[in-house]
Structure 1
Amino acid sequence: MVPQSGKTTTTSFLAEATQLGYINVGDLVRDKNLHDGWDEQFDCRVINEDLVCDELEEMMEEGGNIVDYHGCDFFPERWFDRMIA
């Protein structure tokens, strides 16, 4: 997905409309320090995928969440019923 394409706006509205949980992975990474530092070239945090998955495991196993992130390749498929790209 492309930065600034409306993912966060869309997913937050969808979560509110459906009464599902909302998880913004970028905010989670920042708030819980689930990263390996800063990438100067791309001007962003280098997320630690293992730490992110460990942090999300219990929430995702319970179900009922909309996850906002620009990729999906490192998340376990069993966590998701639907994917919008």
Structure 2
Amino acid sequence: MTAAGTVGAGGQRVFGGVDLHADTIHAAVVTDNGGHLADAECPTTTARYTAALAFLGAHGDVIAIGVGRHHVLRNRVHPSGPRRRTERG
């Protein structure tokens, strides 16, 4: 994983965010008051998913992880690419 940021103190409460793309995973860790701790990007392989979880846990006690995967799923469901959103949804 390619990481940026600093490792937080052990035992602190942190939140993770993971954005899934077709070829990469981007993970970020913030403190429970919103302070940026670190972020990293890696290829989308089974081993790298495991590494991303370990990366998040290395920065503290993970309270929750938010996952953004909308575009990955939409591109798989609609091979022509993302649909445009209209006023009706």
TM-score (norm 2): 0.29
TM-score (norm 1): 0.30
Bigger radius of gyration: 2
Q: Which has the higher strand share?
A: 2
